Structures are given as C-alpha cells and as structure tokens.
Amino acid sequence: MLHLTEIGHFALSLAFALAMIQSIMLFRAGRTGDLGAIQLGRISAHLTFVLVAASFIILTIAFIQSDFSVALVASHSHSLKPLLYKVSGVWGNHEGSLLLWVLILTLFGALMALRLKPLQDGQLTMSYALSVQGMIVIAFIGLILFTSNPFERLTALPDDGNGLNPILQDPGLAFHPPMLYLGYVGLSVGFAFAVAALIEGRADALWARLARRWVLIAWSALTAGIALGSWWAYYELGWGGWWFWDPVENASLMPWLVATALIHSLNVVEKRNLFHSWTVLMAILAFGLSLIGTFIVRSGLLTSVHAFTNDPTRGLVILVIILVAVGVPLLLFGWRAGTLAHDRASNQNSNQDTESPALISRETALQANNLLLVVTSATVLVGTLYPLIIEAINGARISVGPPFFEATVGPLLGLMLIVMPVAPLLAWKKAQAKSVTPYLLPMLLMTAAIMAVIIVMLNGISIFAIATLGLGVWVISGVIADIVAIMGGHRMTIRSGFQRLIGAPLPRIGMNMAHIGVAIFTIGVAGVSFFDSETITRMQINDSIESGSKTFTLTQVTPVQGPNYTAIAATVMMTDKRGKEVALTSEIRRFPVARSQTTEAAIKTGFWGDTYVVYGGGTSGDGFVIRIYQKPLITWIWGGAGLMMLGGLLAMGPRRSKPAQLTSTSVAERHKDSIA
C-alpha cells in the first residue's frame, strides 16, 4: 500500500520537473515575448508551489501523528511532545528546514507569477526574474531530493522517537525560523530581478519600482526574524544577553545590512535613475550572504543549537550552489554592468535628470551610508569566517568574539547613524546650506540639551554611553525635523501642516518610522550595555537580598512535572520601593528522552527595563544559587526592531507622485533593446 510520505516525495519530484518548465518557458518568454510561454511559465510556478505545499503538509502530518516509520520523525520528535513542538519539529532539523525554505521560495514564485501581466510594462523583466527564481527552486529541490530526503523510511520501527532538542521546544523557536526564512528567501526575489536586469541590459526606474516592494517584504521579515531570535536567546538560554555575535547570528545580520543598503539604492534608481550597477550588485550580494548563512548552518562547520547537520557532503553541495548562484551573476555583472548606466527607461530624459549629484546632496549621503553598511557587513563576514578558515587549513582554533565586533562594527554603525537623519533633509542633485541649516541647528540644540540633562542626572556616565545615547537622540531629532519639513517648515500653519502630514506618501512615513525604530533600538542598546547590573548569590528559603532598588526573597524551591520533562522551580518574591510584590519563578528543566536540561528564566518586563532572575541549582544545605540581573531599557531593543519592521511594510505603499523616468516605451521596444 502506498504510504502518505511516498506521495509527499513524489509531489516534490513533480515540483522539481515543473520548476524546470517554469524556468525554461519564462526565459524563452523574456527572449521572444511569447505569450504562450508566459502562460505556461505562470501555471508551472503556481503548480510548483501547490506541490511543494502538499509535500510540506504531508511531512507535518507525519510529525503530528508521530509516524516513526519516517526516519526524520523518529530522529526529531516524540509521542509525548506538545502539538506545537511536533509542528515546529518539522523545521527543527536539516531536511525539514530545507523543505520550509523551498516552500517559501515557491510561495514567492507563485506571488511573482500573479504579478506577471502580459503586454504590460515590465513583462520582460518579470519573465526573466521568474525564470531565475525557477532556477533557484531547481537547485534547492535538487539538494533535498538527492542529499537530504525528508521522507526517508525506516525498516525497523522504534518504540518512540528521540525527541526535539529541548532548547528548541519553545514558542519563540516555533515562529523565529519561518520568519527568518521569509527574509532570507525573500531576498532571492531581489536577486532574481538583479539577474534579470543583467540579462535584459536594463536597470531603470521601472525595474527599481518592480523590485522595491519585494525587497521591502524580505527586509521587514528578516528584521522580525532576527528580533525574534534575539528575544528567544534572551529569555530561553538564561544568560540574560540579547546578542552574542554567534556565527549564525552574524549570518543573519550580514544580509540585513546589505539589504538595507539595497533599499536605499533602489530609491535612488527610482527617483533619480542613478546607481544602477551598484544597486544590482547589492541585490546579488544580499542573497549571496543569505546563502552563505545557509552554508554555515548546514555545512557541518559548526556544532551549536543552530547547526542542523554534521554531514560535510551536504555542505559541499550547498557550497557548489553558492559558487554557481553568486559566481555566474557576478561574471555577468562584470560583463554587463558598464552598459546598465547608459540604458534609460525613456528617451525623454533630460541632462538635468541624469547629471551626477553634487558632493552635498541626498544621493551622496545615501551612498555614503550604503558604503558604511557594506563595509560593516564585510567586517562581520571576515570576523565570522576567519576562525573557520584557519581551523579548516591547519586545525588551529582561534576565537574572534564580541570585543572584535564591538570595536570594529560599533564605530562604523555610529558613523552611519550620524549621516542617516541628515540625508532626508538634503535636496536631490545639490543641497543648499540655507535650506538645510534651519533644520540642522535645532537638531544639534535638541541633542545637546537632552544629553546635558542625561549627564547631570546620571553622574559618572561613561563617554561611550554618552556617545551611544547621543546617537539615538540625534536620529530622533532628525525624524522630528523631517516631519516638520513634510508639514511645510517655517511657512506652515497648524491646519496646513497637519493636512500635509496626513497626505504624506506612505514610503516617507515608513522611512521615518523605521528611523525612529533605529533610534529606539540604539537607546535600548545603550541602556542594557552600560547600565545593567548583576547579582549572584546563594540563598536559603526566606533569605532576602537587595539588588538595585528592589528586595528579593527566596520563598520556595519545588519539583514540577511537565508534559515531557521534570523540573525544579525556584520562586523569588520581588518587592519594590512602594511595597508592591511580584512572584518570579525560574526553572531547571530535565528532559529524560533527550538526556539534557534547559534553564527557564523568570522575567519581570517593564517599559524602563527588565528584572531577570535565574535559578542555578543547589541544595538546602549549601544554599540555592540565584542570579539577578537588572536590564535597563532592554525592551526598547525589540520595540525598536518592531518599529523598523512596520516602517518597512509602510514603505511598500504607493508614492504620491509618479517616479522619475518611468517607462514610456512599449514592451516590444524594451524587448528589442534587450536583445540588441
């Protein structure tokens, strides 16, 4: 009798074939404009998604039903696991996470196919881009089918499964990987548009408009995914930290930095029809860095909670995919990049529209920040890969840890924050001092005044804390200045100002929201980095200790029985200056199936920061180890990330005015130019 998982494997094989049809037909459509090829390619993209979704659902059913005849289920699930973790166990491993990757990849392909409208502007670009997307699908489905089959069967059925890694049995890890993959995989669309531009020989304002929303979706999802991972590490691992410069954390940060540069570059292409080659390169590098992150996790180079496999064969295949997926476009870029800047969406362009910007202009400021973002990403890449390369060459183990990254990345991002709020205030092409000064002076005064108050209130504050807090305030002052500019500046009235603000383009509102998010994030980092405190002590029942302005009393230590674990829980009563009491319970959980344990911290979250309590074990004779952390403003880190994500989504909205130099040529003319 045919097993359900065999149907899932067959569906994946059919999707592999359909992805080939999608890629071939849509490449043909890009070359010839064949409407029949477009329709067949669109249908193939939709069916590929349906088949991959069916395959993923079948694997999920196997996990939910605890079907231990499937090797993956036996290795990463257990009959006693709660339902949520049975489902999240689907992607809590190498094979299942790759299938989730492909599911999201084909979802983007299906959505792109919906946007592909025959006989409309952008038809050729969309056809090429969707063809490239199909090639990426082929590569990853091939990786699954030939090296990482999630539907492999066992001949001898075990009594029960091995269970999921206990650290991954947490709601944060149920949602963090899918959101992160939306960002990683979403950058493949920007990459596909970049390759399409190189094939077509055109990266104009129309191209930027087509690509911009896809990149914003990916950037917003990646922002949320990184924030969720940081939040999970903070409350689940029991260390009280929010970022550890772990290689896999770095692997998610690098494409985020380059994608941020890409968003700003697309804006310049769309508004001013400049920076074509740079923007195409950023799109290639952003997705290339996503693939490098995939390689780091799945190559066997790392042994950590993030690493899903120790099989070097799979890592070698992924490395080959990276070399082809990035190497070929870079070669194509080297051949075609010089011509992209000479291609225009319209013959109506004036010299004024395409003239080089002045040294003091919005374009120059944006490009300066883009360079800082790219250099920062390159610095993180070197610091992440250098120890791995040295170990691979001679077996020597060296450590490149937080001190390196903080000493190098911090100043680079500080420079970026100085320029960031100024750029929106500058005019395109050439900025006049008289138009910028009325905004810059109040920004400087506001920042100086607030920092003076902070210095007085926090006597003995370090220079690094002053600098970091000052950067956050500086960015906020820039957002306020831009809002004033939107409302009409010194010429505005209250009524006309609010009318202008309400009618402002969503992308500009989204930009300011994202910048506010960056400022809040920066202030949060300053708070937790320079003002946190830690108290470690041994306590007996009913002992009390002072930490910060609060009193902590250990009230009980009791055993707890969970669904698939046992635990020892310590309850600490926190009393503030007003006499208000809050019970905080921290646990050490032991998972008998996995033969491991985890620490569950107790956290009292507040607007101005968290109180973080961790039980570290002990006995009634020796005392129980209790760690108490005060984390000022740490919640601002995730609040800022949330505002960044929302800002990115808002920026997807329509612009009020027609973007500069959009197409007036027909599809036939664009096709003729692309072949020439």
Question: Which H or E run contains 8?
Answer: helix 4-32
Q: Taking 70 as the threshold, does the pLDDT of residue 633 lie above it?
A: yes
Using the predicted structure, report yes or no on whether residue 510 has a pLDDT greater than 50.
Answer: yes
Smallest CA-to-CA distance from 165 within 222, 94, 105 is with: 94
Distance between CA atoms of 146 and 12, rounded to whole angstroms?
12
Which residue in the block uniquely carries the two structure tokens 């005015």?
657
Looking at the predicted structure, is the pLDDT value of residue 669 above 70? no
pLDDT surpassing 60 at residue 343? no
Closest CA to 633 of 548, 549, 526, 517: 526
pLDDT at residue 664, as a whole number? 34
pLDDT score for 394: 81
Q: Give dist(CA 546, CA 572) in Å, integer.
A: 12
Note the pLDDT tens digit of each residue in 233-285. 898 887 888 999 988 899 999 999 999 999 999 999 998 888 999 999 999 99
Q: How far apart are CA 605 and CA 631, in angstroms?
A: 9
pLDDT grade for 668, boundaries at 50, 70 and 90 = very low
- pLDDT for residue 145: 94
For the chain, how big is the Rg over CA atoms in Å? 27
User: Which pLDDT does position 500 carry in this prediction?
Assistant: 87
Terminal-residue alpha carbon distance, the chain: 57
Q: Which residue has the higher pLDDT, 399 or 150?
A: 150
Confidence of residue 311 (pLDDT cuts 50, 70, 90): low
pLDDT at 477: 97
Contacts of 377 (CB under 8 A, 6+ apart): 253, 254, 255, 257, 258, 289
pLDDT for 661 equals 42
Judge whether residue 676 has pLDDT over 80: no
Give the lowest-confidence range in 65-79, 97-111, 134-148: 65-79
- What integer is the mean pLDDT of 413-439? 91
Token digits for 592? 């008998």
- CB burial of residue 597 (10 Å; 0-12, 13-18, 19+): middle
Q: Given this model, what pLDDT does residue 81 score?
A: 81
Torsion, Cα 501 504 508 513, to 10 degrees, reads 40
The residues near 462 (Cβ < 8 Å, ≥ 6 apart) are: 530
pLDDT above 70 coverage of the chain, percent? 92
Residue 593 has pLDDT above 90, yes or no: no
pTM for the structure as a whole:
0.91
Nearest to 474 by CA among 432, 516, 434: 516
Q: In this structure, are residues 488 and 497 in contact, taking their beta carbons and an 8 Å threshold?
A: yes
Q: With 80 as the cut, is the pLDDT of residue 671 above it?
A: no
**pLDDT score for 315:** 74
Q: Residue 366: which pLDDT band, with cuts at 50, 70 and 90?
A: very high
Q: Please say if the pLDDT value at position 306 is more than 50.
A: no
pLDDT of 323 above 70:
yes
pLDDT in tens, 180-189: 999 999 999 9
Question: What are 448-496's pLDDT values in tens digits?
Answer: 999 999 999 988 899 999 999 999 999 999 999 999 998 887 777 788 8
More confident residue, 175 or 60: 60
Band of pLDDT at residue 350, cut at 50, 70 and 90:
very low
Q: Residue 662 has what pLDDT?
A: 38
Contact between 176 and 232 (Cβ < 8 Å): yes
Mean pLDDT of 413-423: 96
pLDDT the model gives residue 421: 95
All structural domains of the chain with their residue ranges? 4-152+162-346+354-415+645-675, 432-531+635-644, 533-632
Q: What is the pLDDT of residue 305?
A: 46
The DSSP-derived string for 48-86 is HHHHHHHHHHHHHHHHHTT-TTBHHHHHH--TTS-HHHH
Kindly state the average pLDDT of the residues 404-409. Answer: 94
**In whole angstroms, what is the distance from residue 361 CA to residue 351 CA?**
17
Q: What is the mean pLDDT of the chain?
A: 88
* H runs (alpha helix) in 201-311: 205-236, 247-272, 276-298
List pLDDT tens digits, range 195-234. Answer: 999 998 888 888 999 999 999 999 999 999 999 999 988 9
Reported as a single tens digit per residue, the pLDDT across 531-587 is 999 999 999 999 999 988 899 999 999 999 988 789 999 999 999 988 899 999 999
Average pLDDT of the segment spanning 155-172:
76
Q: What is the DSSP letter of 582?
A: E
Please provide residue 245's backbone torsions phi and psi, each rounded to the nearest 5 degrees. Answer: 55, 35
What average pLDDT does range 56-80 have in this prediction?
A: 91
pLDDT score at 530: 94
Q: Which residue has the higher pLDDT, 438 or 663?
A: 438
With 60 as the cut, is the pLDDT of residue 342 above it? no
pLDDT, position 536: 94
Name the nearest CA neighbour of 274 among 367, 338, 359, 341. Answer: 341
Q: Above 60 in pLDDT, residue 363? A: yes
pLDDT recorded at residue 368: 95
348 has pLDDT over 50 = no
pLDDT at 493: 76
What local confidence, expressed as pLDDT, does residue 299 receive?
A: 63
| Interacting residues of 415 by C-beta distance below 8 A, sequence separation 6+ | 372
- Return the higher-pLDDT residue of 340 and 280: 280
9-19 pLDDT, tens digit each: 999 999 999 99
pLDDT of 601 reads 93
Mean pLDDT of 403-422: 95
